[in-house]
Structure 1
Amino acid sequence: MFSLLQEAATTAVETTEGAIVIDDAATHGADAATHGVDAAGHAAEAAGLPQLDIATFGNQIFWLVVTLVVLYLVLSRVALPRIAAVLSDRQGAVTGDLMAAEEFKLKAREAEAAYDKALADARTEAQAIVARNRAEIQAQLDQAIAKADAEIAARTAESEARIREVRASADVSAREVAQDVTAELVRTFGGQADDATVGAALDGRMKGAVQ
């Protein structure tokens, strides 16, 4: 019985010593890891990269969040509203320009239609004026021709009357001359020249010549 108790005590002591040895090994391992991290941090600092230092990760994350928040506030309160205002103004200007261009286009079409209508009206009016002037000129020409015909007819009648008068006067003068010449010839040949007989002979001769 005593030997059994002695063996159990020996086993417990050995187990306790093994656990202590394991705990010491774990402690030494953790210390080695810590020293490794510190060594890596010191190596990073020595290499010029302090942002890789694990000890400053908390501060870096904090200032990163602060920077992002400040950047968001600046963008949302200052930059983005200005950009939105500029885009809105530009969109409004483009829309206004498009509306003005469309309005000018409509006005140009209306002006072109008005010009075409005015041109057609002017052409129609010009044709009417030409026709009216032509009719007036034709009427004046007809009136002038009629007046000229009347004047020509009057002058022709007057000329014919004068010709008849001249012819009658010439006939009388010729008869008188012929009568005088005949009477003189009769007297030259020793005859008696009776004016009535000579006149009758001349009248008969002249009538025969006229017929």
Structure 2
Amino acid sequence: MPQFEFATVPSQIIWLAITFVALYFIMSWFALPKVGGVIEQRTNRIAGDLDEADRLRRDAERSTEVYQTSLAEARAKAHTIHQEKRDATTAELETIRKAVEAELEEKLSAAETRISEMRNKALAEIKDVAVDTAGDIIERLSGITVDRPVVAAAVESAGRAGKA
């Protein structure tokens, strides 16, 4: 193998050094600046993306704060509207309740008056029925016809005696 021949080692080392220096200069003048430019572009792009992401994050936080504030205001307004409607409805229902109670009270009073009149009328009719019945009973039992005013006086005195 030629690389293991000691006679050619010094020339191989010289050519290695020449090739290394040539490659070093070619790489440092041509390839490395391009690679460095690409790396710098990527670094700048990443930094720009990070700045943009930070700006968007701050905007999102501001938007969230505005949203939360608007939501709190809307809730407060809704609560106020709800309370106003509730109070108005309660007042309206109270007015209706009072009107219905007054109407029912009026109907109850009228009904009590009618009941009282009917009771008085029934009591008057009962007296007439009692007088007629007492006259019929006396006539059937004794065979005597009694005048109606006499029977009415007797029923009246019996009614007073029963109350006492």
On whether the aligned pair clears a TM of 0.5, the verdict is yes
CA gap of 1:158–1:187, structure 2 versus 1, over 3 A, is same
1:106 matched to 2:62? The reply is: yes
Of the three residues 90, 104, 123, the one matched with 1:167 is: 123
Of the three residues 148, 157, 160, the one matched with 1:205 is: 157
The separation in 1 between residues aligned to 2:81 and 2:23, in whole angstroms, is: 83
Q: How far is 1:100 from its partner?
A: 0.6
Of the three residues 84, 88, 92, the one matched with 1:136 is: 92
Contact map agreement 2:139 2:146 (CA 8 A) in 1: yes
Superposed counterparts of 1:55-204, under 5 Å: 60=18, 64=21, 67-74=23-30, 75-76=32-33, 78-179=34-135, 181=137, 188=144, 193=146, 198=150, 201-202=153-154
CA gap of 1:47–1:126, structure 2 versus 1, over 3 A, is same
> What is the SS of the residue equivalent to 1:46?
coil
Q: TM-score, normalised by structure 1?
A: 0.58
Contact map agreement 2:135 2:151 (CA 8 A) in 1: yes
Identity score, percent:
15
Q: What do you get for the CA RMSD once the two structures are aligned?
A: 3.5
Question: 5+ unaligned residues in a row in structure 2: which ranges?
Answer: 1-5
CA gap of 1:49–1:179, structure 2 versus 1, over 3 A, is same
Q: TM-score, normalised by structure 2?
A: 0.72
Question: 5+ unaligned residues in a row in structure 1: which ranges?
Answer: 1-44
Q: What number of residue pairs does the alignment pair up?
A: 157
CA gap of 1:165–1:70, structure 2 versus 1, over 3 A, is same
Cα deviation 1:69-123 (Å, max 9, x = unaligned): 43332233x2222222111111111111111111111111211222222222222
Task: Between the two structures, name the one with larger relative contact order (CA 8 Å, sep ≥ 6).
Answer: 2
The separation in 1 between residues aligned to 2:58 and 2:148, in whole angstroms, is: 117
Match of 1:48 in 2: 9
